[in-house]
Structure 1
Amino acid sequence: MMNMVAPLRSISLRQLEVFYAVVSTGSVTAAAESLQISQPTVSTMIRRIEDQLGFALFLKERGRLIPSNEGRVLYEALQRNFRHFQAIADTIAYLQRDVSQRMSIATIQPLGSGLVSHVLKSFMANHKDARMHVLVRPRKAVYQAVSSDGVDLGISFGTGEAQAEGLEVEQVCIGRIYCILPKGHPLESREVITNAELNEWPQVSYPPGHQWLYLIYEKVMGNERPEPVLTVENVNSVYPNVENGIGIGLVDEFSLRFHPKDRLSFRPFEPRIDVPVELIYPHRKSSDLTKEFIRNFKKICAEVVSTPV
């Protein structure tokens, strides 16, 4: 076995590729063009192979290189095996293209069903080969997905507090909190709804300490507030219960923008409570596809917050 492989140890696959190209194309010039290298490089590599093998691979006939008997035998052997190398090269190229067109996003429910979906519609219309994957997670789990689970990008509401050490977080736009009401509610006559007015009515809200919006509200208002008549697990669950007249509730601007409004009314909540949208970047370098998505996301975010709800 050692004697069989020893001659190959001094010859690289690139050298064999150059020899194969010269025979296949019929000239050094054509081989150099197909391999995108210079003619002197091709000639030098052929001479080096012949020196290493100890026999001539080509003969000159009327100024042209013609494979010798040994050269023809080697070429036929390479012809059988290069098909396998080409299949491997094609597979690698396919995998590289596939990876470059795949992207994963971790986001929270209020954004995943509204703003993120809206951006994806526009983005994928212009990137038909892209294959996207969206994970909907609680806020803390979004950071975890970006930090440890290999997700390409996180999109969440920000509180101004670090959620994962070392992750880069970028705030891209700011919305606000709105109060939503069932159609025909007496507070429809108000241009804004204050905390005092909110607390005069039954509320659909969130369990204490459970939901990001409740935490923000507590920081602004403190803990003195009536107990909600109904608590739900997420913002999206507030809407149907308000529409059915169970109570009024507070929601973020971004979920409100993409929710049907035929069965509810809404007013800005005062004092103003900001809702920042932030991008969470992994430690590794972003792909070109991810960078393009981020550009689109920022552009659409700016357009969204500049128009009335």
Structure 2
Amino acid sequence: RIKHLESQIGFELFKRDKGKLIPTKEASVLYSEVEGMFFLFRLIQQKIVELKEATSGTLRIASTPSVGNTIVAESISSFLSGHPEVRISLDISKTEEVNDQVFHGLCDFGIHTMAMDRPGLQFKPTRLAEMVCAVPIGHSLESQDKICL
């Protein structure tokens, strides 16, 4: 398939070395151009799943590994023990991906440790360690000075 694609576009995407594929400079440039398309494709897939499963009542949280695998996961577990009917999804990603997910509506809010200057997002301090909660402009949590998890 790769050879077929390379013949269609007229240049090599990968160097082949002892059974390994090594991306060429052209492949890296092409990948950086289509990376955003992959992100949008995941967004569309998520929306399709939500529509199929009618999971609009699910709370979707994105977080970085440093806090998502510890404090946030523990907070979710504690909350669910008293509210078993609630559905919560937690996606662990890099900081910028967490912000992208919040901005594009892939999650309801994001938790990480760095407040940033990013148009379209507000960063609010939390009471758990040194973290911020990223929420889209107009979100109900935007009016809160601090957010308790």
How far is the alpha carbon of 1:127 from its aligned partner?
Answer: 1.4
SS at match of 2:126: strand
Q: 2:96 aligns to what?
A: 140
Alpha-carbon separation, structure 2, partners of 1:117 and 1:279: 15
Q: Does the CA contact (< 8 Å) of 1:108 and 1:137 recur in 2?
A: yes
Q: Does the CA contact (< 8 Å) of 1:152 and 1:286 recur in 2?
A: no
Q: 1:277 aligns to what?
A: 131
Q: Does the CA contact (< 8 Å) of 1:168 and 1:280 recur in 2?
A: yes
Q: Does the CA contact (< 8 Å) of 1:169 and 1:280 recur in 2?
A: yes
Taking only aligned residues, the RMSD between alpha carbons, in angstroms, comes to 2.4
- Relative to 1, partners in 2 of residues 1:105 and 1:126: Cα closer, same or farther, differing over 3 Å? same
Q: Does the CA contact (< 8 Å) of 1:154 and 1:281 recur in 2?
A: yes
Q: Could you state the TM-score of these two structures normalised by the residue count of structure 2?
A: 0.54
* Number of residue pairs matched by the alignment: 92
Q: Does 1:168 align with 2:122?
A: yes
Q: How does 1:234-249 map to 2 (within 5 A)?
A: none
Q: 1:116 aligns to what?
A: 72
- Relative to 1, partners in 2 of residues 1:150 and 1:111: Cα closer, same or farther, differing over 3 Å? same
Q: 1:153 aligns to what?
A: 109
How far is the alpha carbon of 1:138 from its aligned partner?
Answer: 0.5
Deviations 1:220-249 (CA, angstroms, capped at 9, x unpaired):
xxxxxxxxxxxxxxxxxxxxxxxxxxxxxx
Q: Percent identity?
A: 20
Structure possessing the higher relative contact order (Cα contacts under 8 Å, 6 or more residues apart): 1
Q: Does 1:105 align with 2:68?
A: no
List gaps (5 residues or longer) in structure 1: 1-94, 176-275, 298-309
Deviations 1:240-293 (CA, angstroms, capped at 9, x unpaired):
xxxxxxxxxxxxxxxxxxxxxxxxxxxxxxxxxxxx200111235349xxx9xx
Deviations 1:32-61 (CA, angstroms, capped at 9, x unpaired):
xxxxxxxxxxxxxxxxxxxxxxxxxxxxxx
Alpha-carbon separation, structure 2, partners of 1:129 and 1:171: 28
Q: 1:129 aligns to what?
A: 85
Q: Could you state the TM-score of these two structures normalised by the residue count of structure 1?
A: 0.27
Q: How does 1:19-168 map to 2 (within 5 A)?
A: 99-100=56-57, 102-158=58-114, 160-162=115-117, 164-168=118-122
List gaps (5 residues or longer) in structure 2: 1-53
- One-letter amino acid of the structure 2 residue matched with residue 282 of structure 1: P
- Bigger CA radius of gyration: 1
Divergent runs of 4+, >4 A: none
- One-letter amino acid of the structure 2 residue matched with residue 280 of structure 1: A
SS at match of 1:106: strand
Alpha-carbon separation, structure 2, partners of 1:173 and 1:128: 24
- One-letter amino acid of the structure 2 residue matched with residue 122 of structure 1: S
- One-letter amino acid of the structure 1 residue matched with residue 124 of structure 2: E
Alpha-carbon separation, structure 1, partners of 2:85 and 2:138: 23
Alpha-carbon separation, structure 2, partners of 1:174 and 1:105: 16
Deviations 1:186-245 (CA, angstroms, capped at 9, x unpaired):
xxxxxxxxxxxxxxxxxxxxxxxxxxxxxxxxxxxxxxxxxxxxxxxxxxxxxxxxxxxx
